[in-house]
């Protein structure tokens, strides 16, 4: 077994909020990520899925320390990211990249494409000069399906799919061993999505990075990922290989997500009702199972004791008192 590339233990990210109750100001915390555990091996693709608001994008940013975690431990390439700073953090970040959901807001409109793609090379000292950074940026643009002359243009001159290609070129400029893909195709036209996924597959085959694919589209995750982690209210509730998880989900939340996937089979649509209700607030600390109010299988124990994420079979984990019920 290879040494894990990434190990996340008990990761939390709480955001302070204030609200007025009568004449008083009540200060609370939004518990966006509330004890996340995750491991990734070199070169693998892991899907992190869940409804909007479950904390998956916040988790991705906290893992890379684009936002500071409230607590927990993140080890990357054997180093504890929580206890490094300055030059050491910069060195580790050169081995990490991120592709954002909205390609337009992720690109500086005042910078040329060549400067945007070449910026990581300059920041991490991987280019001998600005001219060298520009030359390598042009090579990266060709690698992602654009042209060398695009380096002199600006983000507003490109389509959404082209801008995402630019974001991918920037993310792989330092040849990272881990790339976090935060909903990389959800803002794109349906006709472009397959092209971007194929591009990411080609890059992985050529350069070998591990991908953490954050998504809500389960059909994409099923075909792109070897392993899937399902997130609900800041924690992982089920994890396993794509084949096992999609064929026999054990957590009622996973089953509900799968039931919500569109299918052309009318009989199947009638047989499997999708999940109802909204994600509960993540402001207060929760007692018991976080999913119990929406679960058709909830029992008395679910209201008293929060289930731990435990391994129940080879490469299969679930946080449920009654898995498969």
CATH number at residue 262: 3.40.50.300
Is the residue at 126 inside a domain?
no
Q: Is residue 206's pLDDT more than 90?
A: yes
Q: Average pLDDT over the chain, rounded to whole?
A: 90
Q: What is the mean pLDDT of residues 184-198?
A: 91
Q: Does 267 map to a domain?
A: yes
* CB 215 within 8 Å of CB 186: yes
pLDDT band at 300 (very low <50, low <70, confident <90, very high): confident
Contacts of 150 (CB under 8 A, 6+ apart): 113, 141, 158, 162
- pLDDT mean over 111-122: 96
| Residue in the block written with tokens 């330092």 | 174
Q: Does the pLDDT at position 273 exceed 70?
A: no
On whether residue 158 sits in a domain, the answer given is: no
**Structural domain contains residue 198:** no
- Residues of the domain holding 308: 1-95+209-285+293-325
Q: What residue spans of the chain are helical by DSSP H?
A: 56-63, 86-93, 113-123, 130-143, 160-171, 190-207, 218-224, 242-247, 252-259, 266-271, 300-304
Please tell me whether residue 286 adopts helix, strand or coil conformation. Answer: coil
* pLDDT > 60? residue 268: no
- Is residue 270 predicted with pLDDT exceeding 60? no
**Domain tally, the chain:** 1
Determine, yes or no, domain membership for 234: yes
| Residue 266 included in any domain | yes
* Cα 132-133-138 angle, rounded to 5 deg: 100
Determine the average pLDDT of the residues in 197-224. Answer: 93
Residue 45 sits at the vertex; the CA angle it makes with 101 and 91, to the nearest 5 degrees, is 75
Q: Is 293 helix (H, G, I), strand (E, B) or coil?
A: helix
Q: What's the pTM? A: 0.92
Q: Is residue 182 part of a domain?
A: no
For the CA atoms of 200, 204, 210, 212, what is the dihedral angle to 10 degrees?
10
Task: Give, in degrees to the nearest 5, the angle at Cα 151 between 147 and 153.
Answer: 105
Angstrom CA distances, 34 to 28, 48, 54, 284, stand at 14, 15, 10, 11
Residue 58 lies in a domain: yes
CA atoms within 13 A on the CB side of 7: 9
**Digit-coded pLDDT (tens) for 48-102:** 999 888 899 999 999 999 999 999 999 999 899 988 888 888 899 999 999 999 9
């Amino acid at each position: 077994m290879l040494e894990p590339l990434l190990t996340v233990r008990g990761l939390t990210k709480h955001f302070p909020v204030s609200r007025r109750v009568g004449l008083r100001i009540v200060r609370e915390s939004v518990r966006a990520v509330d004890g996340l555990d995750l491991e990734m091996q070199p070169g693998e693709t892991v899907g992190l899925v869940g409804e909007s608001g479950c904390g998956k994008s916040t988790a991705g940013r906290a893992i890379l320390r684009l936002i500071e975690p409230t607590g927990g431990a993140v080890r990357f390439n054997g180093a504890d990211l929580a206890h490094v700073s300055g030059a050491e953090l910069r060195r580790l970040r050169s081995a990490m990249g991120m592709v954002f959901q909205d390609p337009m807001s992720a690109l500086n409109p005042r910078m040329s494409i060549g400067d945007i793609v070449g910026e990581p090379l300059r920041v991490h000292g991987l280019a001998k000069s600005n001219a060298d950074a520009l030359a390598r940026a042009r090579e990266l643009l060709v690698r992602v399906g654009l042209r060398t002359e695009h380096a002199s243009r600006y983000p507003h001159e490109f389509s959404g799919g082209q801008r995402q290609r630019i974001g991918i070129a920037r993310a792989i400029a330092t040849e990272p061993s881990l790339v976090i893909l935060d909903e990389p195709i959800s803002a794109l036209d349906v006709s472009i999505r397959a092209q971007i996924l194929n591009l990411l597959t080609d890059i992985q085959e050529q350069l070998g990075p591990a991908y953490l694919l954050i998504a809500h589209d389960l059909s994409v995750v099923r075909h792109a990922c070897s392993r899937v982690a399902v997130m609900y209210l800041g924690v992982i509730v089920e994890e396993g290989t794509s084949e096992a998880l999609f064929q026999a989900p054990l957590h009622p939340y996973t089953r509900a997500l799968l039931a919500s996937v569109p299918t052309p089979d009318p009989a199947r649509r009638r047989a499997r009702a999708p999940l109802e209700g909204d994600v509960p607030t993540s402001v207060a600390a929760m007692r018991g199972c976080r999913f119990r109010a929406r679960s058709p299988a909830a029992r008395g124990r679910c209201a008293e004791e929060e289930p731990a994420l435990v391994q129940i079979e080879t490469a299969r984990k679930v946080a449920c008192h009654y898995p498969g019920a």
